[in-house]
Amino acid sequence: MKPSPFIYHDPTSIEEALALLQHYSGDAKVLAGGQSLMPLLNFRLSAPTALVDINRIAALSYIQQEAGQLRIGALTRQRTLEFSALVREHLPLLYEATTLVGHLPIRTRGTIGGSLAHADPAAEYPAVATVMEAELVVQGPKSQRILRPEEFFLGYLTTALASDEVLVEVRFPIPPPTSGWAFVEFARRHGDFALVGIAALLDAEGEQCRRARLATAGVGPTPVRLRAAEQILEHEGLTEQSIEAAAVRAAELVEPQSDLHASTDFRRHLTQVLTRRALRQAKARSQERQG
């Protein structure tokens, strides 16, 4: 398990990195935390001509509060997010999801941008970005574009990133202070990719639900927004019956695949169970914050 030979670059600026990507026109890979890319290289499942290691680009690592958003540099480590007071205060959903990412060594190296750009549908961050309607800031050689998660995640391990583009920033809108949240997942072991994960974000007042947001991990080629389930809650409020109806609807909305660890049917079953659990928890948190 040793990688094929490759040329290694470690630029210190984003411009330099973009120039290198342009130079290799599709035959270079961006190396961030390396938690997914390195195994692929070592298995020789991926054999790019060059690696562009962006770890020396200090300008890509930050957490800033601006214009009702938290803006997070793509190279920010998961471990940094876990310990960020800003994240904990304003994006408790992102915090909760972060604690479920792999294990401590993985979070210490792994970055938020790397996880999103790798686009593993069973990972936590794509679901969080989807449920929070984050903005994904993509820098190309000439211009920058901002993509919504639905535009960014195209399929299994596939994004809208062109070969000469880099994901540089993620912008999370800060939810209202009385909103409730939950990230609930079921994994075979602590730290494993979830068989199913559900991210829920509720903007509620009592049992009234102004906005409900639900997204999945692990039950499709990309994170899935469960809009039809959200609408049940927005129309009928957060009663036990509507939560159950939304959970049932959620299970109908997903098309999970079978694999070694869970069948389509079991994943669908878990989608219902976890949606119910996530909504109950989000509702309770919202009510707690409303006092």
Partner 1 sequence: MEQFTPKLVGARVKRREDRRLLTGQGAYTDDHRPSGLLYAAFLRSPYAHARIVRLDPAAARSLAGVATVMTGEELARLVKPVRAGSNMRDYKTTSWPPLAVGKVRHVGEAVAVVVAESRYLAEDALEQIDVDYEPLPTVADAQAASEPQAALLHEEVGTNVLLTRQFAQGEVDAAIAGAEVRVRERFRFHRHAAICMENRGCLAEYHAGTGALTLRSATQCPGLLRDVLADLLDLPEHCVRVVAADVGGGFGAKSSLYPEELTLCAITRLLARPVKWISDRREDLLTSTQAWDEVVEAELALRADGTIVGLRAEVTTDIGAYSIYPWTATVEPVQTISFLPGPYRVPHYRGRTRGVATCKAPLGPYRGVGRPITTFVMEGLMDRAARRLGMDPVELRLRNYIREEEFPYKTPSGIVWDQASLTACMHKAREALDYEATRQWQRQAREEGRWVGIGFATYIELTGVGSAIPVSPGMPISTGTEAAFIRVDPSGTVTAAFSVAPQGQGHETALAQVVADALGVSFQDVRVICGDTAVAPHGTGTYASRSAVLAGGAAILAGRALREKTLQIAGHLLETNPADLDIQDGRIFVRGKLERGIPFREIARAAYGGLRRLPKDMEPGLEVTRFYDPYYGTASSATHVAVVEVDRETYEVKIHRYVVVEDCGRIINPLIVEGQVRGGVAQGIGAALYEEVVYDEEGQLLTGTLMDYLVPTAAELIPIEVHHLETPSPTTLGGFRGMGEGGTIGAPAAIANAVSDALSPLGIEITELPITPERLFRLMRGTNELS
| Residues near partner 1 (CB under 8 A) | 1-5, 43-44, 186, 188-193, 195, 260-263, 265-266, 269-270, 272-273
Q: Which is nearer to partner 1, 188 or 210 (CB)?
A: 188
Residue appearing with tokens 């040329």: 7
Contacts of 278 (CB under 8 A, 6+ apart): 182, 183, 184, 198, 199, 200, 214
Of 185, 228, 199, residue with least CA distance to 129: 199
Residue number with CB closer to partner 1 (183 or 186)? 186
Q: How far is the CB of 245 from partner 1 (least distance, A)?
A: 14
Residue type, 46: S
The distance of closest approach from Cβ of residue 266 to partner 1 in the complex, given in angstroms and rounded to an integer, is 5
Is the Cβ of residue 192 or residue 207 nearer to partner 1 in the bound state?
A: 192
CB 222, min distance to partner 1, A: 20
CA distance 144 to 154: 19
Question: Taking the complex as a whole, how short is the minimal distance between the CB of residue 180 and partner 1, in angstroms?
Answer: 21
Instruction: Select 78 or 271, whichever has its Cβ closest to partner 1.
Output: 271
Two tokens, residue 208: 């009234």
Nearer to partner 1, 106 or 160 (CB): 106
Gap between the Cα atoms of 223 and 254, Å rounded = 10
Whole-angstrom distance, CA of residue 79 vs CA of residue 194 = 19
For residue 70, give the 3-state DSSP assignment: strand
Task: For partner 1, give the closer residue by CB, 1 or 85.
Answer: 1
Q: Is 201 helix (H, G, I), strand (E, B) or coil?
A: strand
Return the number of other C-beta atoms located less than 10 Å from residue 11's C-beta.
Answer: 18
CB of 72 to partner 1, least distance (A): 27
State the nearest-atom distance from the C-beta of 7 to partner 1, in Å.
14
Whole-number minimum distance, CB 85 to partner 1, in Å? 26
Number of Cα atoms under 13 Å in the Cβ half of residue 75: 17
In terms of CB distance, is 1 or 67 closer to partner 1?
A: 1
Task: Please give the torsion angle defined by the CA atoms of residues 277, 92, 160 and 226, in that order, rounded to the nearest 10 degrees.
Answer: 30
